[in-house]
Amino acid sequence: MVMLNGNWAELNATFSVTIYADQGDNVTIPCHSLHEEGFGMSVLNGMRVKWSKVAEDENYNEDVLVGMGLHVKTYSTFDGRVFLQRANEEDASLVLTEIAKEDTGRYRCEIFIGMEEQIYEVVLEVKESEINGVVFPYAPPGGRYNLNFHSAEQACVEQGAVVASFDQLLEAWKGGLDWCNAGWLSDGTVQYPITRPRHPCGGSNNGPGLRSYGRRDKKNRYDVFCYATALTGRFYWLVQPERLSFDEAVQACIDDGAEIAKVGQMYAAWKMENFDRCDAGWLADGSVRYPISRPRKNCSPTEAAVRMSGFPDKAQKLYGVYCYKEEQ
């Protein structure tokens, strides 16, 4: 109860809505104060706001954020991922970034103004991403910007993939793909995804996003973004007592009843099967690469990625080999 204009008024109210989001997105969970004009408190100058994630039994609710004026504290897995929107004096909406499946649940916003308490509850449903494929950048042994559109199509096919579409590249960018070289897409445009803006990649003043050169003459030369789908067979590291030349690597896979793996098959195994191996091995295009899904020292320490050692002399016996065997 609170005194308004000489009268006691019951202002405690509970509201509930449901909002939906995809994994990896940012979302605003709405909450706004409802108080009489001239009440004197706002999100910006004294209203206390508490956000929590409500447990099913409501005995162990998880603190998300507490704020009063400019002072804000965030908690546990939400630390660094949440902040108050503060679009106006009544706005206590919560902005939640980098959404994960585990963020699904019921969120409670409590606004305290003097003796008054307003409660809002919002259900957040996070849609689980369906990972049906993986986008990867590709340049041939001759180096970057050597593919016209038709040779780009052929390059992807040779690596067990197809040229990626705009929508597929957009989803890959949402998933964190950052690549500074421009590549063909299936619609004949040339683009590249940037999650960390910087000077050599379209400028540091431009925000994250897909940088586009637009539709280009198909005789022009760029790299390409390929799209590989889930594997129907087995991708594996072939255990060998000795390091192999490229020709020896090809033969070793054949002797094992398989074939030397393609770049697209490595990316598919890495992305959809969490394949992890810190050994550089030959692939079918003559490149040497290795897939890391668990970053660690000396093996892609800062991020999960497919690492490339280049296109070395095929006579060198410095590497192992990755093979691929179709299911019978």
User: Averaged over 175-189, what is the pLDDT?
Assistant: 94
Asked if 159 and 141 touch (Cβ cutoff 8 Å), the reply is no
Asked if 49 and 36 touch (Cβ cutoff 8 Å), the reply is no
How far apart CA 178 and CA 210 sit, in angstroms, is 9
How far apart CA 168 and CA 286 sit, in angstroms, is 26
pLDDT of residue 38: 40
How far apart CA 210 and CA 106 sit, in angstroms, is 33
Is the domain spanning 232-326 CATH 3.10.100.10? The answer is: yes
User: Does residue 165 surpass a pLDDT of 80?
Assistant: yes
Q: Is the dihedral of CA 93, 99, 101, 103 positive or negative?
A: negative
Superfamily of domain 133-228: Mannose-Binding Protein A, subunit A (3.10.100.10)
CATH number assigned to the domain with residue range 2-127, chosen from the 4 options 2.60.120.10, 3.30.200.20, 2.60.40.10, 3.40.50.12500 = 2.60.40.10
User: Does residue 136 surpass a pLDDT of 90?
Assistant: yes
- Split at pLDDT 50, 70, 90, the class of 6 is very low
| More confident position, 129 or 55 | 55
User: Would you give the DSSP letter of residue 299?
Assistant: B
Would you call 288 helix, strand, or coil by DSSP?
strand
pLDDT of residue 109: 94
pLDDT of residue 200: 86
User: Would you give the DSSP letter of residue 45?
Assistant: T
